[in-house]
Amino acid sequence: MPRTEFISVGFHVPERVMTNDDLTQWWETSDEWIRERTGIEQRHWVEPGQEAGSDLALEATRKALAAADMDASELDCIIYATLSPDYFFPGGGVFLQRKLGIKGIPALDIRNQCTGFIYGLSIADAWIRTGQYRRVLLVGSEVHSTGMDFRPEGRDVSVLFGDGAGAAILGPTEDDGRGVLSTHLFADGRYAEKLWCESDASARFPRISHEDLDAGRHYALMEGREVFKHAVVRMPQSVRTALEANELSLEDVDLLIAHQANLRINEMVGRQLGLSEERVYNNIQRYGNTTAATIPIAVTEAVEKGLLNRGDLLLLTAFGSGFTWASAAVRW
Ligand code: UT7
């Protein structure tokens, strides 16, 4: 059975840069607080109402297609991971497909928040290995800025997030030893409300009311400390699981790319695993948390910077809303 390789990657972020200082026009916050607690220095936001998540995904996909010297018509399938779909339904995958000018191929939407890219990778890997699809486009794309809570109490969540998209084109490789070695997916729904958006929701009647809007139930709500506590345990655990599954050790790891939610979390993860700073790639400083897009954006940058080369062992891990968490071991 063939393995799944990353044929190419690409990413796109909107032009508009919002520094920490820029945010002080809305919230009582400071560059110092945000940097110290999260490592974030700036993030990119769309021009409101001008660019949707599927537009960012389109640009990221175009770059990945160009890097692979491929045309969109050669794709067999789209997997689109996001927690901020353009519309409640249909999912973002069909909008991306339409913008790519192709039709007929399946477009699957993944709703696993920060873990969406690795969940999507797992599905793509299964399809590629079994021969169902040969050229899979896997995208993580988010627009958070149009859903920011601009009330004073929104500061704890709103300063963390940015907009952006990352894409990977995946396909089979017969090059023995290379490709996705394994993926490992986890969830614990007992913590669903620790990081969630309550309304607009079909579980409620009405789905959204004036009272919901007044109470801000349509904004993301997070118990930050609780999420932090679980993230620093689950991500290292999932990395160890991936290594054990492949009879590899931490010494074998060339690069760890963890979900970019907080630089402090990733520093703790790196320390727990005994990985030196050079073996852990972070870019949250420039993009904030782009949820499903953090990993493909970071992978693209790592490739562009020459930090990830053919044959390297890459470990991916993510943790987020659900709670969901996941890891993947990839021989690049
Ligand atoms: O991608 C999904 C996964 N998400 C995560 O993994 C995020 C995990 N959590 C975190 O990264 C951190 O918990 C945060 C960065 C969200 C918050 O950092 P913290 O050190 O846990 O701060 P805190 O929430 O305990 O708040 C500490 C203080 C509070 O003031 P008091 O009560 O001590 O007076 C907050 O009101 O900081 C205050 N605060 C702020 N101050 C300035 C909260 N947000 C801000 C802000 N600017 N933006």
**Ligand 1 center to residue 36 CA distance, Å?**
11
Task: Specify whether 259 is catalytic.
Answer: yes
CATH number, residue 86: 3.40.47.10
What local confidence, expressed as pLDDT, does residue 176 receive? 80
What is the distance between the alpha carbons of residues 48 and 256, in angstroms, rounded to a whole number?
34
Residue type, 53: G
What is the distance between the alpha carbons of residues 170 and 184, in angstroms, rounded to a whole number?
18
The residue from 122, 156, 173 where one domain ends is: 173
Residue 179, sorted as left (phi over 0), alpha (psi -120 to 50) or beta, turns out to be left
Number of domains in the chain: 2
Q: Closest Cα to atom 24, ligand 1: which residue?
A: 224
**Which listed residue (20, 114, 184, 262) is catalytic?**
114
What local confidence, expressed as pLDDT, does residue 317 receive? 98
Q: Is any ligand 1 atom within 6 A of the Cβ of residue 224?
A: yes
Alpha helices in the chain (DSSP H): 20-23, 31-38, 53-68, 92-100, 116-130, 155-158, 210-215, 224-245, 263-273, 284-287, 294-304
**Ligand 1 center to residue 37 CA distance, Å?**
7
Q: Closest Cα to atom 10, ligand 1: which residue?
A: 224
Same domain, yes or no, for 155 and 238? no
Nearest-Å Rg of the Cα atoms of the chain is 19
Same domain, yes or no, for 107 and 215? no
Q: Closest Cα to atom 8, ligand 1: which residue?
A: 228
Structural domain range at position 40? 3-173
Q: Is any ligand 1 atom within 6 A of the Cβ of residue 262?
A: yes
What local confidence, expressed as pLDDT, does residue 37 receive? 97
Q: Closest Cα to atom 47, ligand 1: which residue?
A: 29
Q: What is the pLDDT along the chain (332 residues), one digit of tens a residue?
A: 899 999 999 999 999 999 999 999 999 999 999 999 999 999 999 999 999 999 999 999 999 999 999 999 999 999 999 999 999 999 999 999 999 999 999 999 999 999 999 999 999 999 999 999 999 999 999 999 999 999 999 999 999 999 999 999 999 998 889 999 999 999 999 999 999 999 999 999 999 999 999 999 999 999 999 999 999 999 999 999 999 999 999 999 999 999 999 999 999 999 999 999 999 999 999 999 999 999 999 999 999 999 999 999 999 999 999 999 999 999 99
Q: Closest Cα to atom 45, ligand 1: which residue?
A: 156
Q: Is any ligand 1 atom within 6 A of the Cβ of residue 32?
A: no
Same domain, yes or no, for 112 and 229? no
Same domain, yes or no, for 46 and 144? yes
Q: Is any ligand 1 atom within 6 A of the Cβ of residue 200?
A: no
Same domain, yes or no, for 89 and 211? no
Is the C-alpha dihedral spanning 149, 150, 154, 158 positive or negative? positive
Same domain, yes or no, for 20 and 144? yes
Six-digit token string for 205:
């009647």
CB 58 within 8 A of CB 100: yes
**What CA–CA distances, in Å, run from 162 to 102, 108, 254, 303, 304?**
29, 24, 28, 22, 21
Same domain, yes or no, for 190 and 297? yes
Same domain, yes or no, for 49 and 137? yes
Task: Specify whether 114 is catalytic.
Answer: yes
Same domain, yes or no, for 28 and 123? yes
Six-digit token string for 271:
């320390």
Same domain, yes or no, for 107 and 195? no
Q: Is any ligand 1 atom within 6 A of the Cβ of residue 292?
A: no
CB 162 within 8 A of CB 289: yes
Residue 91, sorted as left (phi over 0), alpha (psi -120 to 50) or beta, turns out to be beta
The residue from 111, 143, 173 where one domain ends is: 173
The residue from 133, 150, 173 where one domain ends is: 173
**Ligand 1 center to residue 121 CA distance, Å?**
31
Which residues, 6 or more positions from 100, have their beta carbon under 8 angstroms from its beta carbon? 58, 61, 72, 75
**Which listed residue (144, 184, 230, 259) is catalytic?**
259
What local confidence, expressed as pLDDT, does residue 237 receive? 98
Same domain, yes or no, for 100 and 229? no
Same domain, yes or no, for 116 and 200? no
